[in-house]
Structures are given as structure tokens and as C-alpha cells.
């Protein structure tokens, strides 16, 4: 296994099909990544997506016994010996969570619920320490499906958290950034339903795009204000910019924002009472 860096989120750095370790800005340490789309298929095509060879589609059925074996193997490697000293930069030498992320939309796996149950089982086996939190990083498009909602509810009951991607709040914004003309109202309904099932944070990528902001800031602020006024239990917002190069044709038109620029963007949301963390 190579030395881990924030700039390298290779899914194959442990030679496994579903499981890979990363140093995560989001987690503030090492995260055990679970890639449910090794074939690199997603129902979005975000202009900033770092996945090489991304295609449109959904994840295939996950081999649960293989996933469980890989998780056990990864935990023994990380928790024994000199893994942190040899592979992880100083300041990040702590195991933080399991994260369903990877090269596509995790909830599109037909047996996503079984996957969630498998990870809950593995996390619960860590009797010597606190069970690790489970984080699902999702674009939220399938969050109205009963099977996905049921899995989110079980996650919520087992220290689960959801990072719900919301880069835009208008159909034009979804089309421009995620290459998917979603109906904004339906997507916000899915966000609300998710937040009521499991602790949920908005996950928002912000960047310069063809010389302008990635989406309409005033509109975004107004949507968040309404969600909060309606009592939607959002836990906060994770605002971040581009840490790794986009593999999409739009890559040359994108500009990463600095920490100071992100702080300026975060401030109006904080004034609404939302907990906002920023990661350049």
C-alpha cells in the first residue's frame, strides 16, 4: 500500500475491490472508503468529478461476503502494527470513520440496504474502542425510494451520518454543475426526507466556473433559510472546493477557491444559524 495523501484518493491503493483507505479532509483523519461502484458508473456527471473514465449508470449488485472480508482485512491492517507511522501524514494519524463514497452513487447499488447492514455489523465488532461512525456520501437522487429510506433509517440508529450533495438549488444549476436537470423542488423534498431519517449535512462543492460562481448564491441562501424556517433538521453544511483535478472535459474552466474565499461564502449561512465547516 502506498503512503496516503489528501491529494490521492485512489480506490485501488489496497488492491481490494470495494475497500480503500484515504486521508480525508472531511473526516480530519483516515477514513475507510467503501466504493460500491468499482465500474465507475454514476447517474450524475459533475463537472468537477475526479473519477477517471466515469460513465452514466448505476452500481452493480455488491458481493456482501467479499465486502465483509475486505473490511475485516482493512481494519486489521490499520489497527495493528505501524500503519499510521509509515503511511499517514502527521496530524491525520487517527481512524475516523467508514465512508460510503467511491466512484459513483452508492445508493444505486441494488442491495444497498444489505451493504449498510454489513458495515454496521463490522463497525459493531470494534469492541475495544467506540464503534466507528458510518458516513454515506450521496447525491440524494434515490433518497425517495423506500429501500433507500429504510437503509438511511437504520444508519441513523447506528451512529450513521449522511453527506447530501447539494451543489445547486435550481434546475439550471443542477444541469450546469451536475449535468442532470433535476427538478429542484423534488430534490429538496428528498433532502428534507433524508434529514428526518438520519443526521444529515449538506455537502457543497464551490468553485469558479468559466469566470463566474458555480451557482446563484442568493438563491441558495434563500433555499437554506426556508429549509431551516420549516424545521428541517439539518446538522450543518460542509463547504469545500477542488482538492484533486477534475477528469471531466470542463476541467480547464474550473478554479479552486482559497480557504479565505470559502470563509466569505460560508458567513451568510452561519448567520442563519447553520454550522458550516470549510475545506479548501
Q: Which of helix, strand or coil describes residue 81?
A: coil
Which residue, 220 or 240, is less far from ligand SF4 as judged by CB?
240
Given the complex with ligand SF4, which of 45 and 158 has the nearer CB atom? Answer: 45
Extended beta strands in 54-156, E state: 55-56, 95-101, 134-138
Which of 176, 200, 24 minimizes the C-alpha distance to 95? 24
Task: Supply the minimum distance, in Å, between the C-beta of residue 115 and ligand SF4.
Answer: 17
Dist CA 189 CA 166 (whole Å): 12
Q: Closest approach of Cβ 44 to ligand SF4, in Å? A: 4
Least separation, in Å, of the C-beta of 270 and ligand SF4? 25
Do you know the residue count of the chain?
A: 280
**Pick 34 or 120: Cβ nearer ligand SF4:** 34
Of 279, 245, 247, which Cα lies nearest the Cα of 8? 245
Q: Can you give the binding site for ligand SF4, defined by CB under 6 A? A: 42, 44-46, 49, 51, 54, 103-105, 139
Please give the Cα distance from 106 to 100 (Å, whole number): 7
| CB nearer ligand SF4, residue 49 or residue 95 | 49
Q: How far is the CB of 179 from ligand SF4 (least distance, A)?
A: 8
Residue 97 or 103: the one with the smaller Cβ distance to ligand SF4 is: 103
| CB closer to ligand SF4, 38 vs 268 | 38
Residue (51 or 202) nearer to ligand SF4, CB: 51
Residue with cell 454489513: 118
In whole angstroms, how close is the CB of 42 to ligand SF4 at the nearest point? 3
Cell of 246: 477534475
Q: How far apart are CA 71 and CA 65, in angstroms?
A: 10
The minimum distance between CB 254 and ligand SF4, in angstroms, equals 13
**CB count, 10 Å around CB of 146?**
7
CB-based contacts of 54, cutoff 8 Å, min separation 6: 40, 41, 42, 45, 103, 104, 247, 248
In the chain, what is the greatest distance between 2 CA atoms, to the nearest angstrom? 51
Minimum distance from residue 207 beta carbon to ligand SF4 (Å): 12
Identity of the residue, 20 or 83, whose beta carbon is nearer to ligand SF4 in the bound complex: 20
Q: Are 78 and 129 in contact (CB under 8 A)?
A: no
Task: Provide the minimum distance between the beta carbon of 250 and ligand SF4 in the complex, in angstroms, as a whole number.
Answer: 12
**Other Cβ atoms closer than 10 A to 2:** 9
Residue of 134, 119, 104, 94 whose CA lies nearest to 39 = 104
Amino acid at each position: 500500500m502506498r503512503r496516503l495523501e489528501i491529494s490521492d484518493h485512489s480506490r485501488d491503493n489496497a488492491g481490494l475491490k470495494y475497500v480503500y483507505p484515504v486521508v480525508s479532509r472531511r473526516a480530519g483523519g483516515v477514513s475507510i472508503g467503501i466504493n460500491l461502484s468499482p465500474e465507475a458508473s454514476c447517474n450524475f456527471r459533475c463537472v468537477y468529478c475526479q473519477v477517471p473514465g466515469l460513465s452514466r449508470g448505476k452500481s452493480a449488485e455488491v458481493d456482501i461476503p467479499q465486502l465483509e472480508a475486505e473490511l475485516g482485512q482493512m481494519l486489521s491492517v490499520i489497527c495493528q502494527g505501524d500503519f499510521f507511522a509509515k503511511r499517514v501524514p502527521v496530524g491525520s494519524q487517527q481512524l475516523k470513520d467508514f465512508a460510503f463514497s467511491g466512484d459513483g452513487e452508492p445508493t444505486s447499488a441494488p442491495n444497498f440496504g444489505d451493504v449498510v447492514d454489513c458495515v454496521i455489523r463490522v463497525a459493531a465488532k470494534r469492541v475495544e474502542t467506540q464503534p466507528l461512525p458510518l458516513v454515506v456520501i450521496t447525491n440524494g437522487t434515490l433518497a425517495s425510494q423506500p429501500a433507500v429510506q429504510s437503509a438511511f433509517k437504520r444508519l441513523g440508529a447506528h451512529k450513521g451520518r449522511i453527506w447530501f450533495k447539494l451543489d445547486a438549488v435550481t434546475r439550471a444549476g443542477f444541469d450546469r454543475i451536475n449535468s442532470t436537470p433535476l427538478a429542484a423542488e423534488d430534490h429538496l423534498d428528498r433532502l428534507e426526507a433524508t434529514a428526518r431519517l438520519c443526521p444529515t449535512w449538506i455537502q457543497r462543492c464551490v468553485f469558479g466556473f468559466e469566470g463566474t460562481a458555480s451557482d446563484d448564491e442568493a438563491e441558495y441562501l434563500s433555499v437554506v433559510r426556508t429549509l431551516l424556517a420549516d424545521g428541517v433538521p439539518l446538522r450543518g453544511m460542509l463547504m469545500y472546493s477542488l482538492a484533486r483535478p477534475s477528469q471531466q472535459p470542463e476541467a480547464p474552466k474550473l478554479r479552486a477557491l482559497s480557504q479565505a474565499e470559502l470563509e466569505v461564502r460560508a458567513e451568510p449561512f452561519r448567520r442563519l444559524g447553520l454550522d458550516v465547516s470549510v475545506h479548501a
